[in-house]
Amino acid sequence: MDRPLDVSALPFDEMIGREWLATNALGGYAASTVPCVNTRKYHGLLVAAMAPPVRRMVLLSRVEETLFRDGWPYALASNEYPGTIHPEGFRHLRAFDHQPTPRWLYQGEGWTVEKSLHLLRGHNTVCLAYTLLGGGQPLDFELRPLLAMRPIHDLMYQWNGRLTVEEAPLAPARQGNVHAYDQSHSHRVPPTGRTPEVFFAHDGSSFDPQATWYFNTIYRREQERGYRGLEDLWMPGVVRYKLVPGTTVYFACSADPIDLAAVIRQVREQDAATVTLSVPAPPRAAPPAPAGDSILADLAGAVDRFIVAIPRDGSLGTPGGVSVIAQYPWSPPQPRDALIGFGGLFLATGRLNEGAALLTSLAAKLQDGLLPSEFPEDGSSPLYHGADVSLWFVNAVHQYLRRGGDEALVRRHLYEPIVRIIDVNVYVRPDRGGLMLGGYERDPQPVDVRRLPAEFRIEALDLDISVLRRLADSVADQLVIPKVVCSQHVGTGHLERRRRRRRSAGGSCHLRARRPESHPRRSSIEAPLDSQRSGASAATCAAAVVGDRSGERGRARHGD
């Protein structure tokens, strides 16, 4: 966005149709709509990755801010409840900008307040800053944090557990040009059997504990998608400030103990390069189209939001690793998407070191020639559900070397995994319609490529039916196998006629149904293969799929 968005004339529905996103390079994020009305259960001002970059939890859902002038309240916040919007702070919103950090400008009679959100890079911490820009006298200001404290895919409801708030111990004050804060400005919500530990701190005049529940927050987009869209949020109390013209006050929330002085110092350093937000004047002419370099810079900046670092004590393994969040807000790290977009994410943006870290971290997780297709959100073991992930990995290594990557690193850490992938790749073959089918063999038979003709294609290799049966067994529970009607076995002449009919239909896969000796002879036998869960049944289906290219070794007999 080249200039702040003038929202003063936008209708409410259009304002909540525009969403913003800020990330912290750990998988955590903050996201909402322009007026900070959460329309998704994934929205929140602090969504922390408790085991970076997964196990994300919505800690701070939103805040309710109220400004007082001459005893009259002016709400800055907005929220949707059944049948109403309350409060209606969006009516005071005049401008919004999301670069370099989300910022809002509110105006009322005799006052102007700028609000900014800072998600600290490498930390599960968010800091909100409020500056009184206009007005000749100090104004009272109240802030109410509303906590969800639940996983991103869940919803919170009032429950009988005891949620409390207590003063939190402070880290030692650091040297600098910010003052130290006494213990009364830092607070802790202890963990329970259902909720995590949450910390918040402020530089206001006081905190008044008023623990209460806010019921029936509506998430409009969830309801439109057919999901549950009502949630209860817990409010620990009220933080009170005295806003003085030209000064800034702060509120921070974190999954870890907060050193407020250090947080404020980082925010001030970030703000030093930021121009104060103002109400944009109507343009006299259409703005010029951005130059190519500008577009590239915008794309490079967007890339930064999706690349996440795995800490040395992270749950995904390799120290100093890198992962990619393919789609905020609900997607967990997905190596397949990261490898598909490897060139644009890491090479075009000059992130060769981070690209190498991604490749080496994935190579360490190679299993039977497969690479993970997804790291689950709950932090459990990686999922190996994509036969093509390993092929994208080989392609990414090739791109990395072409763009000047470290050849010694590839030889040291990536060569052996690539050899292993190629060794077992004989059972992965292209199929009709641009699809791919197959699996990986744990103990592949070596092939001397020097003895193969120049026109050799991998599809020409014979397949081992025992391998196909094992692969079919491994996916039998994932497939819906329909009933197969097996005609009566009446002799070789009948089978020969069936073979001719199959050949005339264009297929080369031969299936023979053999009647079990113990089964009485009858005109037809209906055999629900999914009820048997046997290797022979599943292998028959697998052989039928790959039979067009497997030759004689692709033939199978039902019951063998």
What's residue 169's pLDDT?
74
The CA angle 234-238-239, to the nearest 5 degrees, is 125
Position 508 scores a pLDDT of: 42
Q: Which CATH architecture has domain 5-271?
A: Distorted Sandwich (2.70)
Q: Are 118 and 127 in contact (CB under 8 A)?
A: yes
**Tens-level pLDDT at each residue, the chain (560 residues):** 456 788 888 999 999 999 999 999 999 999 999 999 999 999 999 999 999 999 999 999 999 999 999 889 999 999 999 999 999 999 999 999 988 899 999 999 889 999 999 999 999 999 999 999 977 789 999 999 999 999 999 999 999 888 999 998 765 544 444 444 455 589 999 999 999 999 999 999 999 999 999 999 999 999 999 999 999 999 999 999 999 999 999 999 999 999 999 999 988 887 765 555 554 444 433 344 445 567 778 888 888 889 998 876 544 334 468 999 988 988 899 999 999 999 999 999 999 999 999 999 999 999 888 899 999 999 899 998 887 899 899 999 999 999 999 999 999 999 989 888 877 665 555 555 555 555 556 666 666 666 778 777 766 666 667 766 776 676 666 655 554 444 444 444 555 565 566 556 554 444 444 444 444 433 333 333 333 333 333 333 333 333 333 333 333 333 33
> Could you give the C-alpha distances from 474 to 37, 173, 390, 469, 556, in angstroms and in order?
46, 58, 19, 9, 18
DSSP 3-state helix, strand, coil percentages of the chain (rounded to 5)?
30, 30, 40
CA distance 315 to 381: 10
The pLDDT of residue 440: 59
Q: How many CB atoms lie within 10 A of CB 195?
A: 20
Q: How far is CA 197 from CA 149, 153, 190, 479, in A?
A: 8, 19, 5, 42
Q: Take residue 231 and report the two structure tokens written for it.
A: 């949630």
Q: What is the pLDDT of residue 452?
A: 74
Instruction: Judge contact between 81 and 218, C-beta under 8 A.
Output: yes
Question: By the 8 A CB rule, do 316 and 309 touch?
Answer: no
Instruction: Return the sign of the alpha-carbon dihedral for residues 284, 134, 9, 37.
Output: positive
Per the CB < 8 A criterion, the answer to whether 258 and 144 are in contact is: no
Distance, in Å, from the CA atom of 423 to the CA atom of 409, rounded to the nearest integer, reads: 21
Q: Taking a C-beta distance cutoff of 8 angstroms, is the pair 27, 54 a contact? A: yes
Burial class (CB in 10 A: 0-12, 13-18, 19+), 359: buried
Domain regions of the chain by residue span: 5-271, 293-438, 462-558
Beta bridge partners of 241: 141
Nearest alpha carbon to residue 245 among 396, 85, 379, 132: 132
3-class SS of residue 205: coil
- State how far the Cα of 391 lies from the Cα of 405, in Å rounded to an integer: 19
Which secondary structure element, helix H or strand E, spans residue 167, and what is its range?
A: strand 166-167
Identify which of 148, 144, 115 has the alpha carbon closest to the alpha carbon of residue 48.
Answer: 148
Cα-based distances in Å from 550 to 81, 435, 459, 469, 557 = 62, 17, 8, 14, 15
Distance CA 55, CA 153 (A): 10
Question: Phi, psi at residue 108, to the nearest 5°?
Answer: -140, -165
Q: How many residues does the chain have?
A: 560
Q: Given this model, what pLDDT does residue 421 score?
A: 84
